[in-house]
Every structure is written in C-alpha cells, then in structure tokens.
C-alpha cells in the first residue's frame, strides 16, 4: 500500500494548482497519508514559546498535492476516511496572541492587549485524552479528524489557514473515520491536500486550537464523473452534510443549507421548496469553526428522513 509522507521541505502552506504533485493515486485505491501537526511538530513542552516557533499564517503544513488519475474539472472527488492514527502520545493546544474566537484579531480589531501565549500538552492513552493532570475532570475521548482537507481551486492558491468552496481549514469534526468527504474537482488530477490532524475538538474551536496531532491516515479514493458540487459534502451512516464557509457566520450557514436543499432535490427527488421546509423541521447544524479567516458551518440532514427510508 502506498504511503505518502509529509517531511520538512515538502509540505505546503497553500492549497492551489501550481505545485508539482508529490504522489499519484488511482480511483479505487486505498493509500496512507502521513501529516505533521498544525505547528510542524515543533512543540514538545508546555514551556515552549509558541510566538517564537510559529508565525501566522504559517500553520497547518499540508501533505500534497496528491494527483488523482482521471479527475477532471466538473467531477467530484469522493474520499472515504478509513482510519486516523496519531503518531505521538500527546496532543498540543495553545493560546495564540491575536487569534481566537473571544479576543481581538487582525479581522476583529480592539484596543485591548492580546491574550498571553500559552501551550498545553495533553497525554493520549487508551483512546482517551487527559486535558490537565491538575484539573479534576474526566478524560475526554480520542475522536480524530482532519481539520484541513481540500482540492485545488482553478486559479487561486489559498492559505492552509482558510476554508472555502474548495474545502481547506474547515475544522469540521465530521471529517472523521467512517465518513466520506466529497470535494469539487477544479483542475486536472484534483490535487488533494491533507493535514491539521485533531485528536478532539469542541464545536466552534473557540480558542482557535484543537488537540493538535501528527497523523497516519488511511483513505480510499473514488471519482464521481461528470457531477460537480459547489461546496464540500460529507456522508456518514446517519447524515448527509453540506459545509459552508463565509463571514458573517449566517452566510456560512446559508451556503451549507442552500447546498443541502439542492442536494435533496437533485439526488433524492424532494421538490426544492418542500426540501427547504423539511430542513426547517429535521436538519441539524454544527458550528465547525468561529475563528478562521472564514467561519465554517455544517448543515446535516438525517438519512432516516430521506424518501423510501420509512418503509425500509
């Protein structure tokens, strides 16, 4: 089985159409991708000065681009996530000055001083994560996913810190083992990028950093030929999901719900306005991130309300 590695000097801080592919995969192929954590694996102590180790926007080093044989503009890339293993026994979280959901940032200017930088290490053992050995709370579960995954836009090279119609840094916890993510193909070969592994994350990723880990992930790739999608989609055992990224946050939700309604009409035969009303009754929403260059919202439709499921 092919293993695609991410080593210093080969990772990317943008998702775009200009870099030469580092590997090629074929539809139907299962392969391994190795990634560094969001901080290039540089942090190994709570005493580390994160302000000296990283400089925004140089975070989320990505493995890629990965060329998918036969992918053409107007296709959809379908990527089943089989497993995500961490290659380290701890995760990293941090406070980064002028970054986060409850502080002044370069996009939300205030005269208050920046929050102080801080690093925490979280031991990972037996499927559980210890937030702090000084705080009397239970461990929380190891629930890994990829915070940043996407395909190249046709013209732009977009920062690995930013989400968008191409995917990118959506921080959507539904991009996890057992689920399939669908991404638009805008250029020959799709040019897939993967990184920013998380061991766990609360909805919204409010401080701007999850439990960051390096990973070894297994994927199976496929193509849906001649079918274009306008924004990333995720399919799980329980839901079909659309992801919207924008500012303000309500526009991210509008993008996600618009795509969900269009999807219900095109693939499941529910008349558009009927699907709109049905979503208002049974859909669910996850706030994926409220911290990045654009915010990301996941609109989720329960599969049990798709036509034909009641009789089944």
- Rounded CA gap, 261 and 280, in Å? 11
Q: Which CATH class is domain 3-228?
A: mainly beta
For position 106, what pLDDT does the model report? 86
Domain boundaries in the chain?
Answer: 3-228
pLDDT of the chain, 312 residues: tens digit per residue: 999 998 777 899 999 999 999 999 999 999 999 999 999 999 999 999 999 998 888 999 999 999 999 999 999 999 999 999 999 999 999 999 999 999 999 888 999 999 999 999 999 999 999 999 899 999 999 999 999 999 999 999 999 999 999 999 999 999 999 999 999 999 999 999 999 999 999 999 999 999 999 999 999 999 999 999 999 999 999 999 999 999 999 999 999 999 999 999 999 999 999 999 999 999 999 999 999 999 999 999 999 999 987 555
15, exposed or middle or buried, with CB in 10 Å at 0-12, 13-18, 19+? buried
What tokens appear for 235 in the block? 């399919």
Residue 294 DSSP label: S
What tokens appear for 312 in the block? 């089944």
For position 7, what pLDDT does the model report? 74
Contact 286, 297 (CB under 8 A): yes
Contact 113, 166 (CB under 8 A): no
For position 233, what pLDDT does the model report? 98
Phi and psi for 177 in degrees, rounded to 5?
-55, 140
pTM for the structure as a whole = 0.95
- Rounded CA gap, 12 and 19, in Å? 9
For position 308, what pLDDT does the model report? 82
């Amino acid at each position: 089985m092919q293993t695609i590695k991410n080593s210093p000097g080969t990772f990317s801080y943008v998702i775009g159409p200009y870099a030469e592919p580092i590997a090629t995969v074929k539809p139907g192929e299962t392969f391994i991708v190795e990634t560094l954590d969001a901080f290039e694996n540089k942090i190994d102590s709570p005493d580390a000065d994160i302000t000296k180790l990283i400089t925004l926007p140089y975070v989320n080093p990505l493995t890629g681009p990965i060329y998918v044989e036969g992918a053409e503009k107007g296709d959809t890339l379908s990527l089943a996530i089989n497993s995500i293993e961490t290659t380290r026994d701890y995760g990293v979280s941090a406070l980064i000055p002028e970054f986060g959901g409850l502080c002044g940032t370069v996009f939300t200017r205030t005269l208050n001083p920046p929050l102080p930088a801080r690093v925490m290490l979280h031991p990972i053992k037996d499927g559980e994560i210890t937030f702090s050995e000084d705080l009397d709370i239970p461990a929380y579960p190891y629930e890994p996913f990829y915070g940043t995954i996407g395909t190249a836009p046709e013209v732009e090279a977009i920062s690995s810190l930013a989400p968008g119609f191409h995917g990118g840094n959506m921080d959507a916890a539904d991009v996890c083992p057992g689920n399939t993510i669908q991404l638009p193909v805008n250029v020959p070969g799709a040019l897939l990028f993967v990184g920013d592994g998380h061991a766990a994350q609360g909805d919204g990723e409010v401080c701007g950093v999850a439990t960051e880990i390096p990973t070894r992930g297994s994927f199976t790739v496929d193509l849906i030929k001649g079918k274009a999608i306008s924004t990333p989609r995720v399919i799980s055992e329980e839901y079909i999901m659309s992801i919207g990224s924008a500012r303000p946050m309500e526009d991210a939700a509008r993008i996600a719900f618009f795509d969900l309604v269009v999807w219900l009409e095109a693939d499941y035969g529910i008349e558009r306005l009927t699907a709109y009303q049905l979503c208002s009754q049974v859909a669910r929403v996850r706030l994926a991130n409220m911290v990045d260059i654009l915010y990301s919202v996941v609109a989720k439709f329960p599969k049990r309300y798709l036509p034909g499921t009641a009789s089944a």
